[in-house]
Amino acid sequence: MTDQTILEETERDPFKPLRLHLVSRKTVDVLRPDAVMPLRDSLLWFHNMSPGHRSAEGYSIITYQNIERIEQLDIGKGPNGKRRNRK
For the domain that residue 52 is a member of, what is the CATH number? 2.30.30
Instruction: Please enumerate in sequence order all residues whose Cβ is within 8 A of that of 50, keeping only pairs 6 or more positions apart, or say none.
Output: 56
- Note down the domain range covering 38: 3-72
- Mean predicted lDDT score pLDDT of the chain: 85
pLDDT of 20 above 90: yes
Percent of the chain with pLDDT over 90: 54
- Residue 53's pLDDT is 72
Is 84 contained in some domain?
no
pLDDT of 82 above 60: no
- Residue 48's pLDDT is 82
Is 22 contained in some domain?
yes
pLDDT of 54 above 80: no
Length of the chain (residues): 87
Mean pLDDT of 31-39: 91
Is 85 contained in some domain?
no
Is 64 contained in some domain?
yes
Beta strands in 1-87 (DSSP E): 18-22, 27-30, 36-38, 42-47, 58-63, 67-72
Is 13 contained in some domain?
yes
**What is the total count of domains within the chain?**
1
Is 82 contained in some domain?
no
Distance CA 56, CA 29 (A): 14
pLDDT of 77 above 70: no
Is 87 contained in some domain?
no
